[in-house]
Structure formats: C-alpha cells, structure tokens
Amino acid sequence: MLTIDRTTYDAIVAHAKRDHPDEACGIVAGPEGSDRPERLVEMVNAAGSPTFYEFDSTDLLQLYKDMDARDEEPVVVYHSHTATEAYPSRTDIGLAMEPNAHYVLVSTREHGNNDGPVEFRSYRIIDGAVTEEEVTVVAQLQSRESEESTP
Amino acid sequence: MAIEVRIPTILRTYTDGAKAVDGSGETLQALIDDLEGNHPGIKDRLIESGDLRRFVNVYINDEDVRFMGGLDAELSDGDQVVVLPAVAGGAGSSAQPVGR
C-alpha cells in the first residue's frame, strides 16, 4: 500500500494537469527504508512528449546526489499518461529500475489541463511483474517520532 | 589504479549489496571488464551489442560518458564513476487512442 499526504498528492495531480498533453514526471523522496514519501521533486520531461518521459541525464545525476547526501531514496516515481489509462505500459514495465519504489501513474485523459478528477493509481514493478496496490491519502504522514517511540 | 564505482540499487545484487565498489581500467570499457571479473553478470546489464545500453547512464566525475567517447572514455586514478539507470517510460506509441 502507498500512503501519501494530501499536499503531495495534490501537487502531483497539479503537475500532471499543468504539463498535459505532454507526460509529466518526478519523484517523491524519503528516508532510505522508511517507505515515507516526504519530499516531492518535480522533474523536467526531457523527451517533452505525450507518449514518453525521461529524466534529463544531468538532472538525474543531481537528483541522486542530493538523495545520497540526505540518505534518501525514491519512494515514489510518478508520471502521467495523457491519452490512456493510468496503468503501466510495456515501456513503463521494461524500464522500471527502482525495485523499492511505488510507481504512481496519473491519467489526465479525461479533463486534460482543466479541473476535474484524475485516475491516480500505484504499482510495484519488479522484474517485469506489475502489482497494483491501494493508495491511502492522509492529511499528514504520521510523525516519525511517534512511530519510533512505540513502547 | 583505483576507481570508485557507485552502483545503483537494482545492480547491487551483483555486488553483495555494496553501494560502491573499486575497479580499475584505463577506459570505461576496461573498467567494466574488470568489474565483470569480480561481479559476474554486471557487464551484461551495462552493455548491449558492444555499446552502452540506451537506458543506462554512466558518469565520470559528474560528466555523462556519452559526451566523452562512451566506452572509450579515459579514466585516471581517483576518478569517480556513477552508474544510474534512466528514469523513463511512457504510454508509448502503441497506446494511441483506439480508432486512430
């Protein structure tokens, strides 16, 4: 299951709507091993395409260096589909290289740049196998302290 | 000659979980051959048909090797090499709306 806070969820949806009809992409980083999506990083789609996304190679290196310095990993890797459903394509499955990440897909096919609901779905993609998982949106992620101080 | 190579999560199965390993070589090709000796299988994940895989990025001292001669890029003692799989995907051309 993916647990994500409302602010981050809304920001991902807003990014997807803003970049429509091109695919939007980014990550939500969090402390290594925590499974907490805490820090949204919107990325530029270097492909600038309605059917493909790719992080720019220089941006990619900077992103991973930043995460490394903070002991973070990509907890969520997200992108949008702009004409099709929010389900991983063959390309998505073949290129999924983060076994620990939740792969989030947002589809803007219904309302494009405009207000209105979107499909927001999450998957694990490991060795070519796709498993959909529940998405729980919370007001705020539970504080790390309260989790750690369980008696 | 020691060159530190940063290994991405997905390839750490070849390095017993290590985030970084040391290798040696005067070119990227030689370095990858050297890594293969200690971490069998890793070369195939980096190279395809004699060239770097399209969706694997390799950097020498923060510069993308595609701008430095690819597998022929030269290495010196103390260089740092970073391997990062591309973050890429997309609906793909086969996913055009039905009826077009």
Q: What is the structure's pLDDT at A130? A: 97
Query: Are A103 and A145 spatial neighbours (Cβ–Cβ below 8 Å)?
Result: no
From the list A61, A84, A89, the residue facing B82 with the nearest CB is A61
Mean pLDDT score of chain B, rounded to an integer? 92
Q: Tally C-beta pairs within 8 A across A and B.
A: 97
Q: Which of B87, B94, B96, B100 to mutate to test the interface with A (most CBs of A within 10 A)?
A: B87
Residues of B in contact with A57 (CB under 8 A): 57, 64, 66, 86
CATH number of the A2-142 domain: 3.40.140.10
ipTM: 0.93
- Cβ distance B87 to A64 less than 8 Å, yes or no, reads no
Task: Report percent pLDDT > 90 for chain A.
Answer: 93
Burial class (CB in 10 A: 0-12, 13-18, 19+), A59: middle
Which string of DSSP letters, residue by residue, matches B1-46? --EEEE--GGGGGGTTT-SEEEE--SBHHHHHHHHHHHSTTHHHHH
**Residues of chain A with C-beta less than 8 angstroms from the C-beta of B55:** 95, 97
Tokens of A109: 């096919």
Tokens of A4: 């994500």
β-sheet bridge partners, residue A131: A124
Q: Domains (ranges, CATH) in chain B? A: 3-87 (3.10.20.30)
B48-65 mean pLDDT: 96
CB-CB neighbors (< 8 A) of A77 in chain B: 87
**Rounded Cα–Cα distance for residues A29 and B92 (Å):** 26
Count helices and strands in chain B by DSSP H and E runs: 2, 8
User: By CA distance, what is A89's nearest residue in B?
Assistant: B91
**Residue B19's closest chain A neighbor by CA?**
A68
- Residue A147 pLDDT level (bands cut at 50, 70, 90): low
Hey, of A60, A80, A121, which one would you mutate to test binding to chain B, going by the most B CBs within 10 A of its CB? A60
| CA pair distance A130, A28, nearest whole angstrom | 20
Q: Which residues contact B4 (CB under 8 A, 6 or more apart)?
A: B20, B21, B22, B79, B80, B81
Q: What is the mean pLDDT of residues B15-32?
A: 97
- Residue A148 scores a pLDDT above 60: no
Parse chain A into domains and list their residue ranges: 2-142
Residues 6+ apart with CB under 8 A from A48: A22
**In Å, how far is B17's CA from the nearest CA of chain A?**
13
Contact criterion met (CB < 8 Å) for A92 and B57: no
- Contact by Cβ (8 Å): B43, B31: no
Are A81 and B8 inside 8 Å of each other by CB? no
Q: Is B64 within 8 Å of A57 when comparing Cβ atoms? A: yes
Count of Cβ atoms closer than 10 Å to residue A58 Cβ: 14
In this model, does residue B1 exceed pLDDT 80? Answer: no
Alpha-carbon gap, residue B95 to A64, rounded angstroms: 30
Q: How far apart are CA A91 and CA A112, in angstroms?
A: 22
A65-108 pLDDT, tens digit each: 999 999 999 999 999 999 999 999 999 999 999 999 999 999 99
Q: Please check the confidence at residue B100 and state whether its pLDDT lies above 70.
A: no
Residue of B nearest to A32 (CA): B9
CB atoms within 10 A of CB A141: 17
Check whether B49 has a pLDDT greater than 90: yes
